Amino acid sequence: MLINKVVELKNIELFKDLTAIDELLIVADLHNDYDCTSIDYSDDSKMLTINFTSNNRKVNRSTVYLRFEDATLMKFDLAFKAMIDKSTLNILYRGRFESNNGLLEYSEQKGFYFYMEFEEGDKFEFFAQKMLVQEHE
C-alpha cells in the first residue's frame, strides 16, 4: 500500500527536527528505524528524492520517500569517508539562509531552506517549495 502526504512547509517551525515525521497517517523515525539508501536530484525537473529503507523489523513501512519539489541544491559536501551502500540521517530541518537583507526564512523565487546531514559527515543544503512524504509497505 502507498500512502502520500503533502507537508505544508510554511507550517514547519524553524529548526524543528524532521528526522521524526509524524504527519497524520505517516509516522517514521528516519534516524533510528531507517537507513538512507539513495538521493536523486534532477535539475531539469527540480525534484530531490531521498529514499529510506527500514532497518527495524518492528516498523510497518518498509520504504519512506521524501520528495522535495521545485528544489535547488545550494551546498553539497560529500566526504567519501567510507564506501557504503546506506547512511544514517542525523539532521534534517528547515532553517534560515543568508542574503543581502540578512537572515531570511523564505525566498519568493526558491522557497524554504533546508539543512540535511548524515552520521558520516555528508551534508546538503537546498531550497524547496513543496515536500511530499510517501510510505510503502
Q: Map out the domains of the chain as residue ranges.
A: 2-136
Q: DSSP state, 122?
A: -
pLDDT of residue 24: 47
Q: DSSP state, 41?
A: E
pLDDT of residue 87: 85
| pLDDT by 10s per residue, the chain, length 137 | 666 666 777 778 888 888 877 754 556 888 989 999 999 999 999 999 999 999 887 776 688 899 999 999 999 887 766 556 778 899 999 999 999 889 999 999 999 999 999 988 889 999 999 988 887 76
pTM of the model: 0.85
Strand boundaries in the chain, DSSP class E: 2-7, 20-23, 26-29, 34-42, 47-54, 63-69, 72-77, 89-95, 97-99, 102-104, 106-107, 111-118, 123-128, 130-136
pLDDT of residue 26: 59
pLDDT of residue 61: 67
pLDDT of residue 132: 87
pLDDT of residue 84: 66
